[in-house]
Structure 1
Amino acid sequence: MRAWLSIVPILLFACARPTPAATPPIAAAPSSPAPPVVERVDASAQPLFAAAQVEGVFVMRSLTTGEQIVTDAALAGVGELPASTFKIPNALIGLERGVLAGADATLKWDGARRGGSPEWDRDHDLGSALRDSAVWFFQEVARRIGAEAMRASLIAFAYGNADIGGGIDRFWLQGALRISPREQVEFMSRLHRRALPVAREHMALVEHMLTRAQAPGWSWRGKTGLTAHEGRAVGWLVGLVERRGTTWAYALMLRAPEAEAERLMPVRVELARALLVRYGALPAEAGR
């Protein structure tokens, strides 16, 4: 396992490919004041994590009522590398700074095979780069944004510790950036409310591009992330769910020994789906 991990030292895994969205970009939500957050700890979901043989936490907030469910109060506040979930703010900053001209903004692949997913090894536009989690695409976007603008944007976003130490093209992969599940949920909440300091159309576009699955009456959006450091694998799925006029922001974070990192790839999606169904955000048939 370790020999395979060494092929891609800056990011270990591709994200699962979401179902392509077939509808036009969603309408921008009003940037009205958010309701006060009222957190409720529900430890009854812990057997789901135990059955999957992972340590983990799930946070889900109703953007309508402010009710926030947390399955592990302590772990919900622990900062970890965001890995590929950082592609969400990276895309927003790239659009806002003019590095990306829009959904069809294309970067040419340089021909270097970096390991990971074979879908990475081709030209990508923003939509396909998000869908296939093309690491090199977003590394180039970050280099073009530059350290000063990146740091300023992350501070303005209140994105985790906003620390870009470790290199402009790897700080979210192996560097100093850390974000907790609660902070991920807050960031996604602000994205949906159009309360981030970027153009509303950029927020609407990126949110739409996160669509994993949808049907009449509901939609499931999210971005996976997976990396390993200090002997531990960390897996993420963060996003938004809309159903019956209510929107929820959610974050799932999983941890396991580094040697089990590849196992987390399907587990993070199945566990997130099960928890979203458990708490009523998704219907039972969603994502099947």
Structure 2
Amino acid sequence: MRRWLGLALFVVPACARPAAPVAPPAVAAVAAQARGAESPAPAVVERVDASAQELFAAAQVEGVFVLRSLTTGEQIVSDARLAGVGELPASTFKIPNALIALERGVLGGADASLPWDGVEREGPREWNRDHTLASALRDSTVWFFQEVARRVGPEAMQASLKAFAYGNADIGGGIDRFWLSGQLRISPREQVEFMSRLHRRALPVAPAHCALVEHMLTRAQAPGWSWRGKTGLTEHDGLAVGWLVGLAERGPSTWAYALMIRTPEKELERLIPLRVDLARRLLVRFGALPEAAGQ
């Protein structure tokens, strides 16, 4: 078993790597001010569209896709039951972790850095160096966000997760492990609700911090559209779980989405490219991204 795979990954095809440089905090603040504070959310109306299940079946995985239009409130779920199942968030937790660190003053912005401790870790070689918040989020650097969580501390972390209404908000299992192998659980529906609140600036976080983290999630973009998201990968109880959670913007419309796929633990590595491919295909299928996105 390759331990680093069970922790977190942001390994994606080169074409899906974030295409745009991270905006400095000042630029992010301007963007947040332009969008304003919390905007009213349309009522969520959910419908089941099981057509996505054919893609999961073809890939030989158990999976669910949740897509919410932040413009109309329509929410599509491919499997109503699985959309409500809580799972370890794995590296998708780097999104709230970054927000909390910025809001609590643990990190001062995208360029805030932490020194590498010199310990060679099994995993992507990019992990074994100094990192900034921007590079650690891009490379999904586990040690960086573990140190961030330690600096935030249990009391502040617990309070923030409860304020965010983030899944079950349970930090049992250790301050630097609870999202990797501890008690924290969040469902695909809850992931979409969290991303919706992030985009609407409806979290108890400064709009500038929301805007900055959202920008740092950019995977690909071109005139007229953008694709933002964070991967996650973990294993427990004989299962491998893969995530991709984020936002898609096309023209005047924005969507929040969450893809979760599961296989037997022995097939974990197969989920690394598959979660990205399936999410892209489903976002294209439902009109949230153009065919060219991520290619």
Q: TM-score range by the shorter chain?
A: over 0.9
4+ residue runs over 6 A deviation: none
**Could you say if the C-alpha distance between residues 281 and 9 of structure 1 is closer, same or farther in structure 2, counting changes exceeding 3 Å?**
closer
Distance 1:217 1:23 in 2: 19
In the alignment, structure 2 segments of 5+ residues that lack a partner are none
Select which of 144, 153, 157 maps to 1:150.
157
Query: Which residue matches 1:269?
Result: 276
Q: Secondary structure at the match of 1:176?
A: coil
Query: Which residue matches 1:21?
Result: 20
Q: How big is the shift at 1:175?
A: 0.2
Query: Which residue matches 1:113?
Result: 120
Segment of structure 1 superposing worse, 261-270 or 114-123: 114-123
**Could you say if the C-alpha distance between residues 174 and 101 of structure 1 is closer, same or farther in structure 2, counting changes exceeding 3 Å?**
same
Q: How big is the shift at 1:116?
A: 1.6
Question: For residues 240-255 of structure 1, what are the structure 2 equivalents within 5 Å?
Answer: 240-255=247-262
Query: Which residue matches 1:11?
Result: 7
**One-letter amino acid matched to 1:269:** V
Q: Secondary structure at the match of 1:46?
A: helix
Query: Which residue matches 1:84?
Result: 91
Distance 2:113 2:22 in 1: 21
Structure-1-length-normalised TM-score: 0.96
Structure-2-length-normalised TM-score: 0.93
Per-residue displacement from partner, 1:211-231 (whole Å, max 9, x unpaired)?
000000000000000011111
1:218 matched to 2:225? The reply is yes
Q: Secondary structure at the match of 1:236?
A: strand
Q: Secondary structure at the match of 1:249?
A: strand
Distance 1:12 1:100 in 2: 21
Per-residue displacement from partner, 1:219-276 (whole Å, max 9, x unpaired)?
0000000011111000000000110100000000000010100000000000000000
C-alpha RMSD of the superposition:
1.4
Query: Which residue matches 1:58?
Result: 65
Q: How big is the shift at 1:9?
A: 8.5
Matched residues, percent identical?
76
More helix by share: 2
1:191 matched to 2:184? The reply is no
1:178 matched to 2:177? The reply is no
Per-residue displacement from partner, 1:170-192 (whole Å, max 9, x unpaired)?
00000000000000000000000
